[in-house]
């Protein structure tokens, strides 16, 4: 059995157990109602229909190889049998719409006889719940005592199950994908870590409840439903991770971060004036604290000081105006903010500073107003390789950074590659990249997600005028 198939089956079993508890809760209310009539009775038809749907997920003809898989299939079969019994009880309790008084009395008499059967089914559900928690422990490890959820995936298993090949789920299928995802900084990897931690904590909480009582209360039922939902999400996220990684690998190029990495970080405070409204410039005039006797000062020196102070004031006004303009742009998200300057004036250093500034990020988050935010930077470099100074390099980098931060975009932007059974490892051709980028621009324009791109070194771009 494929590891993810086993996880899916475990999720279906959890869904059945959770739904069965919900049915029992409804039936217990019905049993306390005179003549078998109540609003809950009207829900029996819905229960019958939903029970059939949930039960479909318990049927599997996949060959079980490992001990854990065999136990999982046995548990699924037992749940299927219990479903049949529940179905018969629900049918016997249902009163027709045009019921007579006699029929209502017969239902009430039948309900009294069914009460013990319901209690027996509830005890069996409690046992199945304990068994599925054991199966999940074998799949995912010891529990929340694990300091790092990734270790669960990379080989932390129950000592009593060391030879169980079911742990291939942990040791092979996910290990490579997670390592790749973390190298590519695919956000799905970190989400998967968080989800694993949630699963382990839910299993531990449910075990504590199961050990202290034979009945699962409303809070316990909520935890069980959350666990089932988390298992389903885990299955979907895991099956997507490998494809996401492949597509990210085909977008990336070796020199993608070379230019950014070569730019030294500015000295503390150098560009603070650009983002900090409370910034106070350092007084570079060493003479400002000295009491001058202007009679001893030459006319030339006084003129130099006057011009210096005038220029300094002018620069302060310019910096304040630039800062206000930039921060207004950051928080409004309108159009393009263009920064120009002489060669070697520190534009790239400023760009690196701004793209990493917490103040800039805070402003962008205010602009996004609770919606998803994607922040990407790219640095053209005419001293690097051809890709670093090309339109292809720009497109690849922007798409890579966007997709790693928002992997949910990948199936939409790369539908053919996503559906392909053989993704391969060769980089995408530039024509395909152009098509995807055009698709991305259309999606970004209509999306609630907010995108901000910091692009440095436009004067170092090598291409024709149309592309520029």
pLDDT of residue 281: 60
pLDDT, average across residues 456-466: 79
pLDDT of residue 169: 47
Classify burial at 332, counting beta carbons within 10 Å of its beta carbon; exposed 0-12, middle 13-18, buried 19 or more. Answer: exposed
What is the band of 43 on the pLDDT scale with cuts at 50, 70, 90?
low
* Residue 413 predicted with pLDDT over 90: yes
CB environment 372-407: b (16+ within 10 A), e (fewer): ebbbbbbbbbeebeebbbbbbbbbbbbbbbbbbbbb
What is the band of 123 on the pLDDT scale with cuts at 50, 70, 90?
confident
Separation of alpha carbons 195 and 225, rounded Å: 15
The domain locations on the chain are 3-251, 258-460
Residue 19 near residue 224, CB atoms below 8 Å: no
Most confident of 175-189, 264-278, 350-364: 350-364
pLDDT, average across residues 348-371: 93
What is the band of 31 on the pLDDT scale with cuts at 50, 70, 90?
low
* Residue 400 predicted with pLDDT over 70: yes
Least confident of 52-56, 411-415, 428-432: 52-56
SS (H, E, C) 300-360: HHHHHHHHHHHHHHHHHHHHHHHHHHHHHHHHHCCCCCCCCCCCCCCHHHHHHHHHHCHHH
Let me know how long the chain is. Answer: 468
Residue 22: which of 216, 231, 226 has the closest Cα? 216
* Residue 295 predicted with pLDDT over 90: no
Q: Does pTM top 0.85 for this prediction?
A: no
What is the band of 300 on the pLDDT scale with cuts at 50, 70, 90?
confident
Residue 443: which of 467, 401, 408 has the closest Cα? 408
pLDDT, average across residues 418-423: 80
* Residue 218 predicted with pLDDT over 70: yes
Residue 376: which of 356, 396, 401 has the closest Cα? 401
Residue 396 near residue 433, CB atoms below 8 Å: yes
- Residue with the bigger pLDDT between 144 and 316: it is 316
Distances (CA, A) of 417 to 181, 246, 267, 294: 18, 9, 45, 78
What mean pLDDT value characterizes the chain? 79
pLDDT of residue 373: 95
Token pair for 156: 């932390």
What is the band of 341 on the pLDDT scale with cuts at 50, 70, 90?
confident
* Residue 342 predicted with pLDDT over 90: no
Most confident of 74-83, 107-116, 163-172, 455-464: 74-83
Most confident of 175-184, 251-260, 287-296: 251-260
* Residue 345 predicted with pLDDT over 50: yes
Separation of alpha carbons 346 and 263, rounded Å: 10
Cross-strand partners of 455: 378
The pLDDT tens digits for 46-89 are 777 788 788 888 877 777 777 888 888 889 889 988 888 888 87
């Amino acid at each position: 059995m494929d590891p993810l198939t086993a996880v899916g089956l475990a999720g279906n079993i959890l869904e059945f157990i959770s739904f069965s508890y919900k049915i029992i809760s409804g039936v217990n209310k019905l049993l306390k109602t005179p003549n078998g009539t109540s609003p809950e009775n009207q829900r029996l038809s819905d229960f019958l229909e939903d029970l059939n749907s949930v039960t479909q997920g318990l049927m599997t003809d996949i060959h079980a190889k490992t001990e854990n898989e065999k136990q999982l299939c046995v548990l699924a079969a037992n749940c299927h049998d219990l479903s049949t019994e529940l179905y018969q009880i629900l049918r016997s309790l249902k009163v027709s719409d045009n019921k007579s008084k006699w029929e209502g009395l017969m239902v009430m008499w039948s309900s009294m006889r069914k009460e013990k059967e319901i209690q027996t089914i509830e005890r069996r559900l409690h046992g199945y719940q304990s068994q599925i928690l054991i199966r999940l422990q074998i799949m995912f490890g010891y529990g929340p005592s694990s300091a790092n959820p990734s270790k669960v995936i990379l080989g932390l298993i129950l000592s009593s199950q060391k030879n169980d090949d079911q742990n291939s789920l942990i040791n092979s299928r996910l290990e490579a994908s997670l390592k790749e995802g973390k190298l590519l900084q695919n956000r799905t990897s970190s989400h998967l870590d968080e989800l694993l931690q949630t699963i382990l904590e839910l299993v531990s909480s449910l075990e504590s409840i199961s050990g202290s009582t034979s009945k699962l209360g409303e809070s316990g039922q909520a935890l069980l439903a959350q666990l089932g939902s988390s298992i389903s999400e885990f299955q979907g996220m895991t099956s997507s991770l490998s494809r996401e990684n492949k597509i990210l690998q085909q977008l990336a190029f070796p020199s993608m971060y070379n230019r950014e990495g070569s730019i030294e970080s500015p000295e503390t405070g150098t560009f603070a004036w650009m983002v900090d409204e409370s910034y106070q410039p350092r007084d570079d005039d060493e003479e400002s604290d000295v009491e001058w006797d202007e009679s001893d000062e030459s006319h030339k020196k006084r003129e130099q000081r006057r011009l210096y102070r005038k220029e300094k004031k002018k620069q302060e006004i310019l910096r304040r105006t630039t800062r206000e303009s930039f921060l207004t742009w950051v928080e409004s998200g309108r159009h393009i903010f263009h920064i120009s300057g002489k060669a070697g004036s520190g534009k790239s250093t400023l760009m690196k500073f701004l793209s990493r500034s917490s103040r800039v990020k805070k402003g962008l988050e205010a602009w996004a107003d609770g919606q998803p935010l994607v922040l990407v930077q790219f640095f053209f470099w005419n001293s690097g390789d051809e890709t670093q100074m090309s339109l292809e390099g720009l497109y690849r980098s922007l798409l890579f950074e966007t997709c790693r931060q928002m992997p949910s975009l990948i199936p939409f932007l790369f539908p053919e590659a996503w559906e392909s059974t053989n993704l391969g490892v060769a980089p995408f051709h530039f024509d395909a990249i152009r098509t995807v980028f055009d698709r991305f621009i259309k999606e970004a324009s209509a999306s609630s997600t907010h995108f901000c791109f910091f692009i440095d070194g436009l004067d170092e771009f090598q291409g024709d005028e149309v592309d520029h």
